[in-house]
């Protein structure tokens, strides 16, 4: 009995070794470009390093300092503020437009293309275009910025403002521009989701006497939950990590009113050469994002089960 | 078994290829007659390439010039290359003096003192002393670096104020203001004719820092400024409040162009070139920029108006573009010879003519435009953080600069900002002590 079964594991071993060999290139590439950098960031976050010279091990001191760094936590709040705008204004707009384009309307294809233009533009270009629109300067008593000029043309010159240099409006302007650029992604995904809903469900609801509102609430919304959750997760991850738009719209920032986590990481790395502290910020930020994504995933699983 | 062995060999080869590609071990063989130079100056690339070709024709030594822009990316590349030991023969260090010192300390930068001293110090004497100071470590330097000159400047720069002659005339101002009260009067006159006052790219916050530094030197003098950085004088000192008050006074007088605190310098340059503001605070590189934006712009340079007439107005300058030679380069002599050639009068004159930048070689000054000559005439008034004995802690500088923004937008008073900056200073000093 024993002699009959012995050769089989040998063959399995050989087959397994062959299989493992096939995944070695992927493992090597993954290790070099993902695992090693991740390990290096974790390792650096426990050191003090200026980018040159020896690394001094400081344990969790960078994390301790980060916990009491008010500007860091303000930057997290600022990113959350942009995210809240994106979750509400951006996604509601995307959903409304997706609903409109899912119906039989004229120029449907044209709208689809137009709505998808902002997301494919570079964030630097978008930031600079909006800087020009929101420009606050005047020449010969005339507003040069498009928005202020428009406001003065319609008799609302008292509303003209230093949009990007006023602490009351700067971050909101960045959030609005982020939404303007980002709603196209949500629009495409939500439209794709809407098109997968079986039309027979609407016909059955109609036969049962359901109104348009009832069809939307009882057919469209439940069927769209999985797509919406994906859109929400991507929106949160995208908005929390937004920074190119911030840099191109307000440069190095308006006091600390427009700081976001990535600009703080860049400031620590490029400005003050505190690589260890910057890595600690990166690790802290990653933990926050992983926690948020996990909560949303759990929520998504519960919704699916329901 | 044959199939298994073949697969194994192929996979091992693939893995080796990946590892070699990733670690850079497969690099090409070094050419002993080719010197590589990395730079970051997009506007000077064409003329540098032209000079490299000319040098090859004259000497037979090939100079490979590679551009990595913008300067932030360049700086990161230099840091990363120092770690990977892939630095070129000639490169620039754009960071603070402290980082420059680290590059020397860890053996990446050659000491050029002997080269500068050759032929009775002819090379050293041909340069603006302020430009060399940026690359010089004095005997009592706080970084503990062996005294000497470690870099070669190829141009110099300074940051001053500029005024639009036409707009000043429109407001009835006959001559550029030299003191602060005259400047405020000019602002009033300009406002009456609907012209904005001062524009600058303070969205790039170091420029506002430079402006504040000018007034700090004028109000309290270098010694007291250094004493503050050292920790002997507090930011709540009345003189520092006076410095911060400059921004409050100018802001309340409506001197700043709208949105100055988040304005990138490129936009500020456009505003001045398109005659949207009468005054600008900008570096000598602007001559080239304004020429491209508006060749008919009539303007001139001036020192920022003084508050304290007893002290001269010190402006930031001297620090232009400098290059260093890799200490371990096998072509060190060739690299030094090229830099010597590049900083000679003829080449410097060509660089100045083509790029409208101030040459580092004093003899090349004759070929520069009139406005640039205005900039050059005050080189003796220049100072720069890279030549100061003490530098402020980065977090304190950030708090100070952001405080200036708060004052300009009317969010905080100079006293509030001074107290906050002092609090940051005390916290950071304590932190630095703990680290030691």
Q: Give contacts of B409 with chain A, Cβ < 8 Å.
A: 165-167, 254-255
Measure the CA–CA gap between B67 and B91, rounded to whole angstroms: 11
Per-residue pLDDT, B376: 85
* Residue B400, min C-alpha distance to chain A (Å): 10
Higher per-residue confidence, B73 vs B91:
B91
Higher per-residue confidence, B389 vs B115:
B115
Contact with chain A for residue B430, Cβ under 8 A? no
- The yes-or-no verdict on residue B269 having pLDDT over 90 is yes
Contact with chain A for residue B395, Cβ under 8 A? yes
Which of 1.10.3720.10, 2.40.180.10, 3.10.20.880, 1.20.1740.10 is the CATH number of A70-305?
1.10.3720.10
Please, what is the average pLDDT of chain B?
A: 90
Measure the CA–CA gap between B431 and B424, rounded to whole angstroms: 10
Domain region containing B367: 34-157+318-386
- Kindly state whether residue B176 falls inside one of the protein's structural domains: yes
Of A21, A144, A165, the CB nearest to B8: A21
Running DSSP on this structure, what letter comes out for residue B119? H
Q: How many CB atoms are closer than 10 A to CB B333?
A: 12
Q: Are residues B40 and B167 in the same domain?
A: no
pLDDT band at A282 (very low <50, low <70, confident <90, very high): very high
In chain B, what are the helix, strand and coil shares in percent, each to the nearest 5?
55, 15, 30
Average pLDDT over residues B362-374: 82
pLDDT in tens, A3-44: 445 555 666 788 888 888 888 889 999 988 989 999 999 999
Measure the CA–CA gap between B268 and B210, rounded to whole angstroms: 16
pLDDT in tens, A211-268: 989 999 999 998 998 899 889 999 999 999 999 999 999 988 999 999 999 999 999 9
Measure the CA–CA gap between A295 and B68, rounded to whole angstroms: 42
Q: Are residues B260 and B340 in the same domain?
A: no
Is residue A33 within 8 Å of B21, Cβ to Cβ? Answer: no
Q: Are residues B412 and B360 in the same domain?
A: no
Q: B270: which 2 tokens?
A: 């456009």
Is residue B431 within 8 Å of A62, Cβ to Cβ? Answer: no
Per-residue pLDDT, B320: 82
Per-residue pLDDT, B394: 87
- Kindly state whether residue B109 falls inside one of the protein's structural domains: yes
Domain count, chain B: 2
Q: Are residues B221 and B289 in the same domain?
A: yes
Least confident of A102-106, A253-257, B277-281, B378-382: A102-106
C-beta atoms of B409 and A144 within 8 A: no
Per-residue pLDDT, A192: 92
Average pLDDT over residues B60-87: 91
Q: A223: which 2 tokens?
A: 């069927």
Q: B343: which 2 tokens?
A: 């900083």
Residue spans per domain, chain A: 70-305
Q: Which of A27-36, A225-234, B221-230, B354-363 has the highest mean pLDDT?
A: B221-230
DSSP string, A231-251: HHHHHHHHHHT--HHHHHHHT
- In a mutational test of the A interface, the residue from B258, B273, B327 whose CB has the highest number of chain A CBs within 10 Å is B258
Per-residue pLDDT, B17: 61
Average pLDDT over residues B14-32: 57
Is residue B299 within 8 Å of B163, Cβ to Cβ? Answer: yes
Running DSSP on this structure, what letter comes out for residue B146? P
Is residue B335 within 8 Å of B325, Cβ to Cβ? Answer: yes
Q: Give contacts of B108 with chain A, Cβ < 8 Å.
A: 52
Q: Are residues B354 and B229 in the same domain?
A: no
Query: Which residues of B, range 114-153, sit inside 8 Å of A by Cβ?
Result: none
**Torsion angles phi and psi, residue B278, rounded to 5:** -85, -30
In sequence order, which residues have a C-beta less than 8 Å from that of residue A243 and are 6 or more positions away?
Answer: A260, A261, A262, A263, A266
- The yes-or-no verdict on residue A165 having pLDDT over 90 is yes
In chain A, what are the helix, strand and coil shares in percent, each to the nearest 5?
75, 5, 20
Record the pTM.
0.85
Question: Residue B296 belongs to a domain with what CATH number?
Answer: 3.40.190.10
Per-residue pLDDT, A141: 80
Per-residue pLDDT, A2: 45
Q: B233: which 2 tokens?
A: 């004088």
**Torsion angles phi and psi, residue A196, rounded to 5:** -90, -10
Is residue A209 within 8 Å of A200, Cβ to Cβ? Answer: no
Is residue B258 within 8 Å of A138, Cβ to Cβ? Answer: yes
Per-residue pLDDT, B51: 96
C-beta atoms of A251 and B264 within 8 A: yes
Q: Are residues B250 and B184 in the same domain?
A: yes
Q: What is the ipTM of this complex?
A: 0.83
The residue to which tokens 């004159």 are assigned: B349
Per-residue pLDDT, B40: 93
Is residue B196 within 8 Å of B258, Cβ to Cβ? Answer: yes
- Kindly state whether residue B198 falls inside one of the protein's structural domains: yes
- The yes-or-no verdict on residue B16 having pLDDT over 80 is no
Q: Give contacts of B406 with chain A, Cβ < 8 Å.
A: 255
pLDDT in tens, A266-278: 999 877 778 999 9
Average pLDDT over residues A63-78: 95
Burial A109-141 (b: 16+ CB within 10 A, else e): eeebeebeebbeeebeebbbbbbebbbbbbeee
In sequence order, which residues have a C-beta less than 8 Å from that of residue A165 and are 6 or more positions away?
Answer: A136, A254, B258, B259, B260, B261, B262, B409
Measure the CA–CA gap between B239 and B30, rounded to whole angstroms: 57
Per-residue pLDDT, A1: 42
Per-residue pLDDT, B129: 87
Least confident of A69-73, B27-31, B90-94, B113-117: B27-31
Measure the CA–CA gap between A130 and A132, rounded to whole angstroms: 5
- The yes-or-no verdict on residue A201 having pLDDT over 70 is yes
Q: How far from B422 is each of A234, B403, B415, B425, B428, CA to CA, in Å?
A: 42, 11, 11, 5, 10
Per-residue pLDDT, B13: 62
- The yes-or-no verdict on residue B27 having pLDDT over 60 is no
Average pLDDT over residues A284-303: 88
Q: At what angle do helices A108-120 and A91-102 cross, to 10 degrees?
A: 150
Per-residue pLDDT, B25: 46
Half-sphere exposure of B195 (CA within 13 A, CB side): 27
Q: Are residues B216 and B259 in the same domain?
A: yes
Q: Are residues B309 and B346 in the same domain?
A: no
Contact with chain A for residue B272, Cβ under 8 A? no
Give B306's strand partners. Answer: B179
* Residue A165, min C-alpha distance to chain B (Å): 5
Percent of chain A with pLDDT over 90: 63
Contact with chain A for residue B410, Cβ under 8 A? no
Contact with chain A for residue B46, Cβ under 8 A? no
Q: How many CB atoms are closer than 10 A to CB B146?
A: 12
Q: Are residues B223 and B139 in the same domain?
A: no
Q: Are residues B300 and B330 in the same domain?
A: no
Of B4, B259, B264, the CB nearest to A14: B4
Please, what is the average pLDDT of chain A?
A: 89
Counting every residue written for chain B, the total comes to 436
Contact with chain A for residue B234, Cβ under 8 A? no
Question: Pick from B87, B11, A112, A152: which is nearest to A144 by CA?
Answer: A152
DSSP string, A78-107: HHHHHHHHIIIIIHHHHHHHHHHHHSS-TT
Least confident of A255-264, B8-17, B221-230: B8-17
C-beta atoms of A25 and B18 within 8 A: yes
Q: Are residues B333 and B367 in the same domain?
A: yes
| Chain A interface residues (partner B, CB cutoff 8 A) | 14, 17-18, 21-22, 24-25, 28-29, 32, 48, 50-53, 58, 65, 131, 135-141, 144, 162, 164-167, 170, 249-256, 267, 270-273
B363-B364-B365-B366 Cα dihedral, nearest 10 degrees: 100
- The yes-or-no verdict on residue B3 having pLDDT over 80 is no
Measure the CA–CA gap between B83 and B79, rounded to whole angstroms: 7
Please tell me which residue of chain B has the smallest CA distance to A135. Answer: B259
- The yes-or-no verdict on residue B353 having pLDDT over 90 is no
Q: Are residues B106 and B249 in the same domain?
A: no
- Residue B120 falls in which region: left (phi positive, over 0), alpha (psi -120 to 50) or beta: left
């Amino acid at each position: 009995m024993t002699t009959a079964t012995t050769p089989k594991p040998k063959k399995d071993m050989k087959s397994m070794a062959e299989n493992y060999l096939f995944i070695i290139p992927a493992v090597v590439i993954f290790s070099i470009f993902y695992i090693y950098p991740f390990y290096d960031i974790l390792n650096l976050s426990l050191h003090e390093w200026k980018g040159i010279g020896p690394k001094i091990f400081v344990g969790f001191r960078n994390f301790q300092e980060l916990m009491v760094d008010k500007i860091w936590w303000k930057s997290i709040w600022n990113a959350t503020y942009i995210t809240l705008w994106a979750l509400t204004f951006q996604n509601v707009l995307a959903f409304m437009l997706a609903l409109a384009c899912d119906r039989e309307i004229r120029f449907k294809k044209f709208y689809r293309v137009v709505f998808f233009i902002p997301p494919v533009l570079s964030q630097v270009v978008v930031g600079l275009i909006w800087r020009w629109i929101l420009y606050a300067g005047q020449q010969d008593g005339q507003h040069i910025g498009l928005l202020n000029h428009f406001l003065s043309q319609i008799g609302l010159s008292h509303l003209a403002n230093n949009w990007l240099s006023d602490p009351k409006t700067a971050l909101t302007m960045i959030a609005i521009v982020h939404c303007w650029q980002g709603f196209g992604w949500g629009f495409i995904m939500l439209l794709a989701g809407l098109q997968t809903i079986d039309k027979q469900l609407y016909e059955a609801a109609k036969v049962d006497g359901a109104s348009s509102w009832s069809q939307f609430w009882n057919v469209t919304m439940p069927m769209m939950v999985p797509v919406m959750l994906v859109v929400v997760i991507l929106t949160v991850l995208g908005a929390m990590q937004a920074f190119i738009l911030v840099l191109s719209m307000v440069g190095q920032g308006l006091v600390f009113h427009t700081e976001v986590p990535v600009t703080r990481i860049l400031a620590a790395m490029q400005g003050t050469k505190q690589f260890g502290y910057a890595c600690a910020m990166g690790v802290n930020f990653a933990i926050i994002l992983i926690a948020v994504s996990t909560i949303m995933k759990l929520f998504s699983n519960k919704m699916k089960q329901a | 078994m044959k199939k298994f062995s073949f697969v194994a060999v192929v996979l091992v080869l693939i893995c080796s290829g990946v590892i070699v590609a990733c670690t850079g071990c497969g690099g090409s063989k070094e050419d002993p007659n080719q010197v590589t130079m990395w730079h970051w100056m997009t506007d000077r690339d064409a003329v540098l390439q032209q000079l490299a070709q000319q040098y090859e024709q004259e000497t037979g030594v090939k100079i490979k010039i590679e551009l990595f822009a913008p300067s932030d990316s360049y700086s990161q590349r230099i840091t990363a290359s120092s770690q990977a030991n892939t630095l070129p023969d000639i490169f620039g260090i754009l960071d603070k003096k402290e980082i420059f010192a680290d590059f020397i300390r860890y053996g990446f930068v050659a000491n050029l003192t002997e080269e500068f001293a050759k032929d009775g110090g002819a090379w050293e004497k041909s340069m603006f002393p302020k430009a060399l100071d940026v690359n010089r470590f004095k005997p009592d330097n706080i970084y503990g670096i062996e005294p000497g000159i470690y870099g070669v400047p190829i141009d110099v720069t300074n940051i001053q104020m500029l005024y639009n002659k036409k707009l000043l005339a429109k407001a009835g101002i006959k001559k550029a203001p030299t003191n602060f009260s005259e400047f405020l009067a000019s602002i009033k006159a300009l406002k009456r004719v609907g012209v904005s006052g001062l524009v600058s790219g303070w969205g790039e916050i170091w420029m506002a820092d430079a402006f504040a530094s000018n007034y700090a030197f004028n109000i309290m003098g270098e010694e007291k400024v250094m004493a503050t950085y050292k920790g002997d004088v507090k930011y709540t000192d009345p003189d520092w409040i006076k410095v911060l008050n400059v921004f409050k006074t100018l802001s309340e007088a409506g001197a700043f162009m709208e949105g100055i605190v988040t304005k990138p310098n490129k936009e500020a340059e456009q505003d001045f070139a398109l005659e949207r503001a009468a005054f600008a605070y900008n570096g000598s590189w602007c001559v080239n920029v304004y020429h491209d934006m508006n060749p008919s712009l009539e303007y001139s340079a001036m020192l920022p108006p003084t508050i304290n007439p007893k002290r001269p107005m010190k402006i930031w300058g001297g620090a232009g573009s400098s290059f260093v030679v890799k200490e371990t380069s096998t072509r060190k002599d060739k690299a030094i010879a090229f830099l010597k050639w590049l900083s000679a009068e003829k080449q410097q004159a060509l660089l100045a003519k083509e790029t409208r930048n101030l040459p580092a070689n004093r003899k090349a000054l004759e070929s520069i435009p009139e406005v640039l000559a205005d900039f050059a005439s005050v080189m003796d008034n220049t100072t720069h953080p890279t030549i100061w004995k003490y530098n402020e802690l980065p977090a304190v500088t950030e708090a100070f600069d952001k405080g200036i923004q708060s004052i300009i937008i009317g969010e905080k008073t100079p006293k509030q900002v001074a107290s906050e900056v002092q609090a940051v200073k005390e916290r950071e000093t304590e932190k630095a002590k703990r680290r030691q």
